A and B are shown apart, each in its own frame.
Chain A
Amino acid sequence: MVNTVEYSIETKGLVKSYPQPRNFFEFFRGTEKKPVTALDHVDLKIKKGEFFGVLGPNGAGKTTLTKILCTLVLPSEGEVRVNGYDVVKNGGGVRTSIGLVSSDERSFYWKISGRENLVFFAVLNNHSWSRAKERAAEVLEIVGLESAADRRFETYSSGMKQKMAFAKGLLNDPQTLFLDEPTRSLDPNAAKEIRHFLSSLSKQGKTIFLTTHNLAEAEQLCKRVAVLHRGRVQGVGSKRDLGRMLTRGERLMLVVSGLEKPGISRLETLSVVDSVGVEGLGGGRVRLTLELAEGSVSTVLSEALKLGLQIHSTRTEEASLEQIFEKLTTEEV
């Protein structure tokens, strides 16, 4: 039984395959085409109030996943619950509890004002006419667009349109907010403002589900991320968790002198060392980059001293999200 209290989003064995369109001749010949698998046994558990990111290259299945969670596409197999509602059996329940913010400017009526757009969508969110007007005013204030509210949507800048998308997504005060690349096509200042706004929303206890290509943004905002590749979840967790998946733990950077070839071999044979990278710096100095098991820095350092190495500097670092993303989306893990 799926826990409806702890998790805002839960998918179990989610599979989505799309039939491939057939051309005129294939249709009349009855030629069958193998369906394309967009999502392949996706299991996710996203806690209430979590800021969760989904990363993946184009065609990874991010949009399909978001659309299934928003009830716009039906899953082929598996169980999917959003805020406790089954997306297949109770799509209406799901939609009362979610908001979607996309970067698509076309999701508004351009010939009417921003306020009129919001009142219309608020009524579709089951608000009465008077409450819809109040709610539209509230969300306009939240996104800071009160002064431009009565201008036609077509006159807004890209940044204002994106703020309107947020305002629309917040109309029903959703428990879970889906964000589909919300800062795409925004200038750096506008994107920064949106990220600041997202942080404040997260602090209000809303669950936020972000799909993005912007790794820096995900790194800054998300507590956990899932990396999707070819419809499969290649990894889920915090940046540190994902980094550990790839390297067992830590990366140690040493600048040493007095290193001979047998010394490198000795370090490579240590059970706590996954790999050793060597880079000559000139003047007899060498930079060693060692991928280590977690908590084994002291072991390696004492071994280095035993080998007679002179250590000039030490530094540990975690793998960046960009490195993790590259690794997870270019090879099977």
Chain B
Amino acid sequence: MFNKIYAFIKRDVTIATSYKLSFFLRFFGMFFSILVFYFIDKLFGSTATPYLMDYGGDYFSFVLIGIAFTSFLWAGLKSFSKVIRRGQMMGTLEAMLITPTRISTIILFSSIWSFIATSVTALLYLAIGGLFFGVDLGSANILSTAIVLVLTIIAFSSFGILSASFIMIYKEGDPINWLFSSSSTLLGGVFFPIEVMPDWLQSISKILPITYSLDAMRLAILKGYAPAALTHDILPLIGFSAIVMPLAIVSFYLAVNKAKMNGSLTHY
């Protein structure tokens, strides 16, 4: 298994580093988006303080963690379907499917690099925030952060696998991705605390895993909460994974079977 994980990561790193300009543009993009929120904080930061007392009262730190860890939502939601789509478009999916390696392994291991790159991006966000914009990361609880991160990846990935099932059959037009990416950005507390929204919108945000994930991440990093103090976020994340992951796995196998029946496994 480790040979395969290594092979997939090596392949993806080699391909990613062959596009050198892309890496630098991504880095500068990150820096500029941080800068935008830094100046927004300068302008309106103090008015947001009453809503942000649970996280230390600082809007810039709040939003920095929001944008850093929302990238895991994108990675979880999109990487699996992207692997299938790219493989179908490039023609490499068929070449992999002709080997004894199971399709689930191919999809899972092909996504590892995406999560590693996302982790590096999140760390860079935090590092830039800490080094250049004075965000205090000194009190972060590493264990809590790691637990929340793992649960976040599992919860988001379960929706991502569900999304991949649609891509397997329909190729384009994936309702899971559409539904979660738009609703999570608006209602999940990425750019503003959910408390500023009307009650009925807050109720919707409670059924999105990103709401619990970002809340727990902020409390773990900015306030140093221990895992036991985060159970109100950790339990819903476990619940999402426990319900959606089995459903996603069954859906994925049904989708592969259907694609093999209608002969569209490698179509695009």
Contacts and interface: CB of A to CB of B under 8 A. Distances in A.
A16 B3 CA distance: 37
Contacts of B106: 124
A109 B11 contact: yes
A127 B6 CA distance: 13
Contact of B95 (A73, A107, A112): A107
Interface stretch (B39-47, B69-77, B86-94, B242-250): B86-94
Nearest to A70: B98
Nearest to B265: A72
A37 to B, nearest CB: 12
Interface stretch (A96-104, A188-196, A249-257): A96-104
- Which among B4, B94, B100 has the greatest number of chain A C-beta atoms within 10 A? B100
Most interface-central of A70, A107, A124 (chain B CB within 10 A): A124
A108 B262 contact: no
B182 interface: no
A108 B95 contact: yes
Tell me whether chain B's interface is mostly helix, strand or loop, or mixed.
helix
Interface residues of A, number: 40
A116 B14 contact: yes
Contacts of B99: 95, 121, 124-126, 172
A237 B244 CA distance: 54
Interface string A184-212: 00000000000000000000000000000
Contacts of A132: 3, 7
Contacts of A172: 99-100
Contact of B7 (A64, A102, A107, A119): A119
Given A95-B99, A112-B14, A120 B263 contact: no
Contacts of A70: 98
Contacts of A64: 263
Interface in A57-98: 64, 67, 70-74, 76, 92, 95-96, 98
A124 B92 contact: no
Interface string A1-39: 000000000000000101100000000000000000010
Contacts of A119: 7
B11 A120 contact: yes
Nearest to B17: A111
A171 to B, nearest CB: 8
B18 A111 contact: yes
Interface in B1-44: 3-4, 6-8, 10-11, 14-15, 18-19
Contacts of A100: 98
Contacts of B4: 123-124
A129 B14 contact: no
Interface string B189-229: 00000000000000000000000000000000000000000
Interface string B160-183: 000000000000000000000000
Contact of A106 (B19, B91, B97): B91
A95 B100 contact: yes
A111 B99 CA distance: 21
Given A70-B98, A106-B92, A124 B7 contact: yes
A96 to B, nearest CB: 5
B8 to A, nearest CB: 8
B102 A92 contact: yes
B263 A123 contact: no
Contacts of B90: 106, 109
A206 to B, nearest CB: 16
A3 B95 CA distance: 29
Contacts of B92: 106-109
Contacts of B11: 109, 112, 116, 120
Among B7, B19, B101, the most chain A Cβ lie within 10 Å of the Cβ of B7
B257 interface: yes
Nearest to A92: B100
Contacts of B15: 109, 111-112
A90 B257 CA distance: 14
Given A100-B98, A123-B7, 17 more contacts: A70-B98, A71-B98, A72-B266, A73-B263, A74-B257, A104-B94, A106-B90, A108-B92, A111-B15, A112-B14, A116-B11, A123-B6, A125-B99, A126-B99, A127-B3, A129-B3, A172-B99
* Interface pairs A-B: 10 shortest CB-CB: A106-B91, A107-B95, A124-B99, A123-B7, A111-B18, A74-B260, A124-B101, A95-B100, A96-B100, A73-B263
18 contacts: A72-B94, A73-B260, A95-B98, A106-B91, A106-B92, A107-B95, A109-B11, A109-B90, A112-B14, A120-B8, A123-B7, A124-B96, A124-B99, A124-B100, A124-B101, A126-B99, A128-B3, A129-B3
Interface of B: 3-4, 6-8, 10-11, 14-15, 18-19, 90-92, 94-102, 106, 257, 260-263, 265-266
